[in-house]
Structure formats: structure tokens, C-alpha cells
Structure 1
Amino acid sequence: MELEPGREAVVRVAVATLWTSPEAVRPVDQPALTARADIPTWISGLDTDQQVGDCVLSQLLLGERVLVSELRPDGWARVVAVEQPAAKLDPRGYPGWLPADQLAPVDPAVTGRPLVVDATVTGLRATPNGPVVLPGVVVGTRLVPAGPARDGWQPVHVPGQAAPLWLPDGQLSSAPAEPPNAADALVVAQRLLHVVYVWGGLSAYGIDCSGLVHLAWRRFGVLLPRDADDQAQATTPLPLGDERPGDLYFFARPGRKIHHIGIVTAVPGDHENRRMLHACYRRRRVVEEPLPAERTATLVGAHRV
């Protein structure tokens, strides 16, 4: 099978980056463009200005579905990330570009209810406790079982791999039968404390503010929109003061659209002291802190998923 415009494909690398265009990539981005997509090396090579370059739109995780809309002779594919809602850009999902060799055709023989990776970062192995074949798989990745667990190891189907790969059974979780509560999502997000801020990032190697929220809920099978303003539309407003840990704070300047989001980490006190966990553009990392004065001045609401 080969990739075809108009048909779905799946991501075959641990983390693929979605770009605004092939021409927008920079020399420093080369590690993220290879057939193995070395995201840790890519991010470690970015300076603080490059971390917030507007060439990156989002990232996609291993096994994530896309709709291929164009294949270029130079090896680039224009796609729609159908598992990342982005209503204002495309009703089908988030549009952008990525290297075609980071995709694989959908295998119709791979069926079943996926398991979700719960480890912050893990590697998929050729055999139980064998050599790592695919490193850098991150929390929230969904993989279809390839048979029953054996001696504490679970085989999974992996796009682009002829044989199943293995990871510890304890690093996987079934999607919950009941909707998760906000506190559960907060616990996942807290594991990403101090992760580097990268505009468009959606992994445990680098992440942005709306990516942190999207990934935390994705771990439980809830696919929130990718961008903060769309996330506000998809969640339920609360009276300020009623928020609880795991709810969301949204921020906007007067007359402007929402530009930032954080996850509530404490019940507001008598003096409305508010705290949040967020991927901070200014500090270039994920932090947990009281709302600074400039954040309080632009706080426009609290919402619940």
C-alpha cells in the first residue's frame, strides 16, 4: 500500500511535527524532518527565539490519523490532522505539512480498541525486554494491541513496522469507561512540569499552553481542540471563584481573542489568590505559579471540560 491523496494515513514516528509549509522550515529543524524524527535533538538545538518561531503549527503522535490532501514530488505531504479539532481553520481538523516518510498507509487489518500510553516517555522494543526499536513515544499515544500481554509485556501494532513491538504492560492503560474528572487530567499535566516551551509543541519534549491542555485530556481519550480559543468554545464557563483544580483559566487582552490557557491548581482563597500550571511563553517552560499581575489583568474566565 502507498500513500494517496484523499485517503487517510497514520503517523509512523513517535512524534511528527506539523509545519506551516515546506518552505518555512529552518536548518535547525533538520532533526525533526528525518524518517525517524529525532525530536529531543531538534528541541535541544533550538535557542529561545527559535522555540517560538511561527513555522510550527502542532505535533502529531505515533498512530495518529491524518487525511492526506496532497503529495509533493519533494517528499512533503499536506494533511489534515483529524484528531486535532480546529474549527476556525478546517472543520475536518488541523491542516499543515509534514514529511511523507513520517506517515504510513492505514492497515485495514489492524482493528481493536486502542490502549493509551501512560508513561511520560517510553520506547517500543523488538521483543519483551529486548532492544528499543522506536524510542521517544510519549504519554497520550494510542496503540492497538497485537495480542495478549505476556510476562508483563504487551505487543502492539505500530505503523510502518512489519512485526508487533513491545512495551511494559504497566505503561499502558485502557480508555476509562466513565468520563475522567479534571483532577485526573491535572495529574498528567503536572508530570510535564519544567518541560521546555515550544510553540506548537505537543509532547513531553516541548509543549505550548494549549498543547499541555490537549495532551493531558488526550491521555483519557478526550480530544479537545488544539488551540486555546477553540478550547474555550468547547468547554463550559464557570463563575470565577467556582473553579477547582483541573479546570481551565483563559486569558485575552481587551478586544482581542483568547491567546493563553492554564490549568487551575488550587481553589481560590479568600483574597482570590489563584494558581495555575501552564506552558509559559515568557519563561519558556511549563511552570506552576500564582497568577502574576499581568495574567490577572487579562483573565477572562474559568471553564470546565
Structure 2
Amino acid sequence: MKEHAIAVSVANLWTDPDAARPVDSPITTKPADPSRWVQKLSHTAKLELHENNLLQSQVLFGTTVKEEDEKDGWVKVVVPSQSTPKHIHGYPGWILAHQLAAPLPKSKQMVEVAAKHAVLILEGTAGSMELSFMTRLPFLGEDVAFYTVMTPIGRGRISKSESRILTARSASGGELIAAAESFIGLDYLWGGMSSWGYDCSGFAHNMHLAGGYTIPRDASAQVLSGKPVASAKAEPGDLLFFAHEQGKGRVHHVGFYHGDGKLLHAPKTGRKIEILDMTDTVYETELCAVRRYWS
């Protein structure tokens, strides 16, 4: 398969080439403006992303995708870094061709955005762009204050105060919770995989990634892996899964156990990432499984 790199701060992985609407223009341009896009979307427009099956996922700047097909300025891709039962090679969907570039060179060292957002200063121009938490780019060098990185649109610099060298790590459950707590108050976004908005499983996926763990993209797949834990023995950082039919049906939601019967999660369209006491709520009756990915 031919490889590409995402050449915008975050690209939407659409269900098909007809899924993008006029209201989505801020996220379909190059450069994309995800902040303006999420601010511009009405509640109804956000609901349509799910109810009309428009958006599958999102992919961060620099991420490698593999081409399967192309049609009228669109490229059908799979995202190897987002595992799913939907496709053996990664999450499938469509991305606009102008939001793709040549793949980045393989590198032994990567720089990772550790802040909610970081500014990438493009070398040789007066330009800059905002990057999301967990964006990863090849390391080229450093000085006292900045890392120099290679990007799909040229060399750039990122402040060390907003980034770090990617190293092998195995975060504790408490460290996963600390990362997740920093996003309390962020709006839920169906398909969201960036710090401009997460959905429930995207939130779980990226917080684990920040801790050194790669887990599946969707809740229905996340519940099939990890270490099973009895609900009475859940610890902060474990994932709680919820299913229809009072916990006996299809898994539809995931969040972090925060301790003391509380849930830290990205709830649904129209709400923000929050900590919730599950006592006497639908979450108490729909809890169906606990899984631990941290060690």
C-alpha cells in the first residue's frame, strides 16, 4: 500500500467522500482550522456526525496512513496506529487528498506534544500552526529552548515547554488519571481524537497512548482486550464499559474509573469531559465490564 502523512493539524476520517458538509469547511481546508470548526458547529451539526454516520475518526499531523483507493480528490485510507476489527490494517475512512503529503522518514527519536496544544514554528517562513496533544514528529536536533522536527510541510521547531522526547514508559493508573483530568471541561466530539475534542473511546485511547500503552480505537474492541478486573476491585485508571439493556447488550460507552464510585469520561454530544458519581445513575445499571491496560 502507498503511504502518506497527514499534512494538517488534524484530519477528519470521513465515512465516504460525500460525508463532508458546507459547515465542515474549516476542517477540510489546508491548513485546517479545527478550533474554528468545533466552535462553528451547532449542536444539531455535531449530532449529525454520529446519527448520519458521517465521521469515523480523526488523524493527527504527521501520522502515517496507507492508501487503498482514490476518487475525485479523496483518498480511501487505513490508519495503522488505530487498530479496529473493521479492517486488518487499521481504521478505514476517506481523507481529502490535499490534506496528505509524502510519508515522513523513519526516525529513532520522536518528539511528542505533551501540552494540550503546542505551536509549531515553520522554518524559513513566518508561518506557524497549532498542534494537538500526542502529535508525534521525527526529531532532528535541539537547542536550549526548542526541539527541531521534520514535518510533512518542512522543518519546524516546537518549544520544549510544550513537548518531550518520546521514551518507553508504562504509566500507572494514577498517572493515566492525571493526564485525563487535564482535559476536564473539554467538549465531547463524536469521532474526536485530538485536544479540540474527544469521543469516549478516543479519550481512552489517547490517554493510554500518553502513558505508553496502545489500545484499540473503539470501546467495542477495547473491552475485548486488557486484563479483566472484577468491578469491586476496580482501581483508578481502569476502564469501565457500559452496555445497553442494563449491561447485557451492546457496549456503547467507556470511561475511566476515578475511584470512590466515580467515572471520568467524555459523555456525549452537548456535554463536556467530567467526573461523575455513578450512584443511582444509568451508568450504575449499565456497567458491564472493567479492563486494565496499565501495569
TM-score by length of 1: 0.89
Cα deviation, residue 13, structure 1: 1.1
Relative distance call for 1:221 and 1:105 in structure 2 (3 A) is farther
> In structure 2, which of residues 229, 238, 262 is the aligned counterpart of residue 275 of structure 1?
262
Cα deviation, residue 131, structure 1: 5.2
Q: Is the 8 A contact 2:234 2:257 kept in 1?
A: yes
Q: Is the 8 A contact 1:198 1:206 kept in 2?
A: yes
Q: Is the 8 A contact 1:245 1:265 kept in 2?
A: yes
Relative distance call for 1:143 and 1:248 in structure 2 (3 A) is same
Between structures 1 and 2, the one with greater strand share: 2
Cα deviation, residue 57, structure 1: 0.8
Match in the other structure for 2:274: 287
Secondary structure of the residue aligned to 2:193 is coil
Cα deviation, residue 223, structure 1: 2.0
Cα deviation, residue 172, structure 1: 1.9
Deviations 1:203-249 (CA, angstroms, capped at 9, x unpaired): 11111100111111122342211100111112111011211111111
Which 4+ stretches in 1 moved above 6 angstroms? none
Secondary structure of the residue aligned to 1:265 is strand
Q: Is the 8 A contact 1:116 1:219 kept in 2?
A: no
2:273 & 2:288 partners in 1: Cα distance? 21
Structure 1: unaligned runs, 5 residues or longer: 1-5, 269-273
Deviations 1:49-95 (CA, angstroms, capped at 9, x unpaired): 222323111110111111111122x21111001100012x1011100
Secondary structure of the residue aligned to 1:241 is helix
Cα deviation, residue 175, structure 1: 3.3
**Structure 2 residue 256 is matched with structure 1 residue 256:** no
Q: Is the 8 A contact 2:190 2:269 kept in 1?
A: no
Q: Is the 8 A contact 1:237 1:303 kept in 2?
A: yes
Correspondence list, 1:11-22, <5 A: 11-22=6-17
TM-score by length of 2: 0.92
2:165 & 2:234 partners in 1: Cα distance? 28
Secondary structure of the residue aligned to 1:145 is strand
Q: Is the 8 A contact 1:48 1:284 kept in 2?
A: no
Match in the other structure for 1:3: none
Match in the other structure for 1:133: 128
**Structure 2 residue 281 is matched with structure 1 residue 299:** no
Relative distance call for 1:22 and 1:282 in structure 2 (3 A) is closer
Deviations 1:117-147 (CA, angstroms, capped at 9, x unpaired): 101111101359x955122x11111111112
Structure 2: unaligned runs, 5 residues or longer: none
Identity of aligned residues (%): 30
Please, what is the CA RMSD of the aligned residues?
Answer: 1.8
User: Which piece of structure 1 moves more, 164-173 or 19-28?
Assistant: 164-173
Match in the other structure for 2:236: 245
Letter of the 1:113 counterpart: Q
Relative distance call for 1:276 and 1:37 in structure 2 (3 A) is same
Letter of the 1:290 counterpart: D
